[in-house]
Each structure stands twice: as structure tokens, then as C-alpha cells.
Amino acid sequence: MFRFGIRRRFACLEKCGESLGNIRESSGIFHVNSKHVLPKSRSRCLIDSVTRSKRSEGRRSSSTTATQPRKTCLYDLHEENRGKIVNFSGWLLPVQYQEAIAASHQHTRTFASLFDVGHMMQTYVSGRDSTDFLESLTTGDLRNLNKGSAALTVFTNENGGILDDLIITKVDEDKYFVVSNAGRRDEDTRLLRRQQDNFKSQGKSVNLESLDPLEQSLVALQGPKAASVLQSIVKIDLKNLKFMNSVETEVLETEIRVSRCGYTGEDGFEISMPERIARNVVDMILNTPDTKLAGLGARDSLRLEAGLCLYGQDIDDVTTPVEAGLTWLVAKRRRAERNFPGSQRIVSQIKTGPGMKRIGLSIAHGPPAREGACILTPEGERVGKVTSGGPSPTLGRSIAMGYVPAELAQCGGGILVEVRGKTYKATVTKMPFVKTSYYTAK
């Protein structure tokens, strides 16, 4: 969420093989009592959004790490399939199964993979003033969103910083389905409840319904074979469901929500369904040819190739959408109205340009540049930091994202990255690194 794009930093394999032993660790991965849990020294692969950023570390919430980790509806499935479990944003989830992360990554690019994303926050927002409510917190144009359509947007603060990235689906004129990041669950809940109280104090109607992850599952089916796999178990014609659109349908005499979106750059779907049928639906999907379970490790390397942001690393509460290269998330009507948090700074940056910009980096030779690695000018001046990086199984070279002064952000420009005290040549590269395959029915 850009999950499409909500998370602790594991970084993918330096050598795309079975061993995780050489992967750099970041904070927040905890040892768990399970025979399939990765040892602490091996649980080092970047996956989903974290509540932390190197640029806003002092402000992070410890709420997701202070309690016992939780399980999703499909935890038993991961155990049965020998998933290597890690504590990720307070949830026990598989980083990989028995296949190497790189092999799982390539399977997703070629066939289809199923990811458990049941830790994500699912919320229904309804009521007469629900559109104004959500627009008061985000940069999107929800008023003009068609029924059944979804939009990626961001919560912003008064200084224009990104509080979270999320997908909002317009279920009806006065009802929305919101999926946001697990690592920001507490912060997002407080934000929504506080604004709900504010609206209600003015006599406005807004209702919030947060779905319990143990009662409502969410899975992502991703890859070029995803549509044919899902078509075999649903009655609706998926050819009519375009990218960033959502529909309710029935499976096993139960209503589910199918949204054509994902976090891999491939065609795919997110399926929200009640826990009572989740395991049966997943088994139906996995019983089709060419479909395998995939873990958080492959999910991360796929989103990196797609140039998608990871909350807490590539975007955070001191980074604006303009600096992050996400200006397109600020709808034209909203720019004109300037009635969202941080609008003054964001619109000013749109007009005059930001001081820093997110860039893509291609590194032909040398080790991967991980989060925190320094970015230098060709003359050796330190000017920025890598926010996400690792080997690209698809391209066969290392790639990364990071922030540099705007004047150094031109594609094709030469730059240096520093890894373990040595510098290596890199090229500023247009993103996505790997062409996306979203279904537009064209």
C-alpha cells in the first residue's frame, strides 16, 4: 500500500539463494518460540512498512512491539507449510517457505503467488459525511471517485509529512473500504477516532468499523497467472475488473471483496473474506496449477523492483508526497482547495520544487546498498541516504532507492554509494526498475 503499500526492515539476500545468514539486520524483528522461526541472526530481510524511519526514529511509537505478537487467520497454514516465521510489526508471519526468496520472487513474476496480508488494517467508513471526513485527512479526490473504484492516497500532517499510505475504495456514495498499514494501526486508529469525534461534535455523521484480523482475512494473489487462478473459483468475469477497482461477490455462499491491486507490480488481487471460509478459499487457490505460497521476503523484493514505497523507510512523517515522487497522489481539485493537512507546504513544493527527491539507483558492480548507506557525489561529497535496497532477482544486479538534493535527481546521472567503507558507482534510474503489468483491459 504503496502497498501498493503498512514495517520492519528485513533486506533481501545478497546472494539470491537459500541462506539468510548474510542479510543485514534492522530493528524490530524478535525471536519467537516456534520450530520454524528464523534464528535472530538470520531474520534480516526487508518486508513491509515499519513504524520507524532513520529520519524520524525519535518519534516512532513502540505500541506494536510492547505486546505479544499476534497471529492472522492463516497462521496454522504457515506452520503446516513450514513457513519461517518472524515477528513483523507485532504479527507472526512467514518471511519465506522452503524455497529461496529469489525463487519465490521469480515464481511470482512468472506464474502466481499467494501472500497472507491479514495483518493489514481493514476499516469501513460510512455515514452522510464520510467523504468529507476522509478528505479532511488525505490528499485524494474521493468526491469524484466512481463507485467500485479505489485510490491510493496518504494521510498527511500539518507540515505535509506522510503519516501513512493507504488504499480507499468507494463502496457507495456514503461508504468506503480503507486498507492501511499494520505497523501504523495504533496511529491510524487514533487519527480516525480523533477526527470522528471532531466531526460528531459538529453534528456530522461518520461511522467507523474496524475489522478484526482474526475474523476477517486478507490475502494477495499476485502474478501473471493470478486472474486465471482466481477466475476458476469466482463467478464474476474478471475481465471486467480493471486495476484499482473492487467488487463484492460470493464464494462458498459467503460474500467476499475482490480488489484488483497489489504490492508487486504484477497483475493481481487482494481478497477480503470472513475467517470461517478463508482456509477453504486459500486451499482452492493453492490447488490450482502454478500457484504457491510466498512470504514477506519475496513481497519486499518485488515491491522494490516496482519502485513502490515502504512506509517508515522510503516515506515517513517528515517526508512530503512531492519529495517522495508521489505528487500524483495530490488530486488537482485538492491542490486548488488546499483543505487537507499540510496543503500549504505541499502545494508550494509542487509549484517551486522540493529540496530533496526520492531517486532510483542501479548498481552494476559491488555489494547491495542497503538502508542507511550513504549516497555521494562523484567527487565524494555525502549528499543523501539509501532508504531501501537489495539485489534484483529479475535484473541480476543491485538496485536501491534513496533521497538526494533535487539537482542531483536527474535520470542517467552518475553517483556513488558507500557500502562498508568503500564506494561504488551507481546510476540514477527511472522507476519502476521492472515494468509493471497492471491490468487495464486495453
Check whether 270 is labelled as a binding-site residue. Answer: yes
Residue 257 to residue 346: CA distance in whole angstroms: 34
Distances in Å between the Cα of 114 and the Cα atoms of 182, 279, 293, 333 are 18, 12, 5, 37
Give the CA count within 13 Å in the CB-facing half-sphere of 35.
Answer: 4
Q: If residue 78 lies in a helix (H) or strand (E), which one and from where to where?
A: helix 75-80
DSSP secondary structure letter of residue 146: P
Calculate the alpha carbon distances from 18 to 78, 96, 97, 420 in Å.
Answer: 18, 10, 10, 23
Residues 6+ apart with CB under 8 A from 164: 6, 154, 155, 180, 181, 184, 187, 188, 311
Residue 97 and residue 168 in contact, taking contact as beta carbons nearer than 8 Å: no
End-to-end Cα, the chain, rounded Å: 24
Residue type for 6, please?
A: I
Q: Which amino acid is at 135?
A: E
H or E segment and range at residue 251 = strand 246-251
| DSSP state letters, 158-186 | TTS-EEEEEEEEEEETTEEEEEE-GGGHH
SS3 32: coil
Q: Which three cell numbers stand for residue 11?
A: 533486506
- Write the burial class of residue 379 (CB in 10 Å: 0-12 exposed, 13-18 middle, 19+ buried): exposed
Q: What is the largest CA-CA distance in the chain?
A: 65
Rounded to 5 degrees, what angle do the CA atoms 198, 204, 206 make?
80
Binding residues: 270
Binding residues for substrate: 270
